[in-house]
Structure 1
């Protein structure tokens, strides 16, 4: 009987916890990223997060290592998901990727940070760059 009562209490606590947990939301994001380098590359830029009708300015910085040659500018827009507050967007996003741009090219990327925020971005990249690298992108709220 005690075991049954304990199981019922555990189930009720679990169900109550599901109702009380914060619901993750989505937002819109726009980023401008400048990237350049020779073997070791760097990136920087800025952006804007729109979450629940408010705009939040973002800063961007990062490093990459591998085959990096040249420089480019990428203007990306998209969706950020699995966030509960604007602070969830801030963090480090890691990626392994390959790409090239001569003049104007398309770019699409999917990233996740340590808080679980997911960025789905697409846009255009302008410049002369070839890359096959591991990179980290840090996004911060200003």
Structure 2
């Protein structure tokens, strides 16, 4: 009897864990980010999240520190995964990276916030910028 109870408990636990993972969904995101600076840089912009048949406006801001020189505009689109509601996209996304763009350049990046939301973005960057920095990007729902 005890063994049967243990097996039933394990099955219920497995079903509950699977249901939580099944509830996580994904959406589409489009961002326009302006970045500029000299040693200390800043970024700002806007975007749109498409999730469960609705569109949510986004605001973007951030700071970077390190070797930052110039200015650029990036237009990025991609997928947002591991979210249960639109508010899961809001948060701080961190990245350490290096890059350069003169004129038009391609960008691709994967970011994760503290809630577990994952952004897989690609697009193009226009401007004159060189960077080797630590960056933080904050995305909020408007």
TM-score range, shorter chain: over 0.9
Superposed counterparts of 1:42-121, under 5 Å: 42-121=42-121
* Structure 2: runs of 5 or more not aligned: none
Aligned to 2:36: 36
Aligned to 2:9: 10
Say how many residue pairs are matched: 141
* Structure 1: runs of 5 or more not aligned: none
Q: Using structure 2 for the length normalisation, give the TM-score.
A: 0.92
Equivalent-residue separation in structure 2 for 1:9 and 1:84 (angstroms) = 28
Equivalent-residue separation in structure 1 for 2:126 and 2:15 (angstroms) = 51
Q: Using structure 1 for the length normalisation, give the TM-score.
A: 0.92
Equivalent-residue separation in structure 2 for 1:86 and 1:126 (angstroms) = 29
